[in-house]
Amino acid sequence: MAKPPKENSPITEHLAYLLAQANREINRQLELRLSKEGVPVEQWRILKVLSDGDGHSMGELADAVLLNHPTLTKMIDRMVSDALVYRVQDPNDRRKVLMFISDRGKVLCKKLNSLAVDQEEHIVESYGDKSTSELKRLLESLIDSSN
């Protein structure tokens, strides 16, 4: 049982496909919740990372929120317009821009966090506590082993 895929095995047995499928489904659900506040998932991630109150450079942020640099720049432009975050030039290295969350951003982030927590609780309900934490553990270790 659970053999490695042969050349002609269905695509649904490939790890890459299962990950894509699971990611798509969970992301779709999360998107649905966050749309109550009209915010895309990526913006929630950005707010969440910045909510430690420290300044984060664009490069750091891009890694953390899984966006490449130009896409992040343009998304940050929108968020600055919405006064959720703001830019400050790094005094120690003036090539860098440090991003900070605004008060308005913090308020929004709290609301989004609770919507996201709702979702995780919903998953745990239907999928099980044990499975959820085991899945998280395995995903973390897969990510580790890929670096």
Partner DNA sequence: CTTCAATTCTTGAATATTCAATATTTTCAA
Partner DNA sequence: TTGAAAATATTGAATATTCAAGAATTGAAG
Q: Which is nearer to DNA, 6 or 95 (CB)?
A: 95
Contact 40, 34 (CB under 8 A): yes
State which of positions 81-140 bind a copy of itself (CB under 8 A).
Answer: 110, 113-114, 116-117, 119-121, 123-124, 126-127, 129, 131-140
Q: How far apart are CA 101 and CA 99, in angstroms?
A: 7
Q: Which spans of this chain sit near DNA (rule: CB under 7 A)? A: 42, 57-60, 62, 67-77, 87, 93-97
**51 near 100, Cβ under 8 Å?**
no
Q: What residues does 100 pair with on adjacent strands?
A: 86
Residues 6+ apart with CB under 8 A from 121: none
Nearer Cβ to DNA (69/137): 69
Residues that bind a copy of itself (CB under 8 A): 1-2, 4-8, 10-11, 13-27, 29-30, 41, 45, 48-49, 51, 64, 66, 110, 113-114, 116-117, 119-121, 123-124, 126-127, 129, 131-143, 145-146
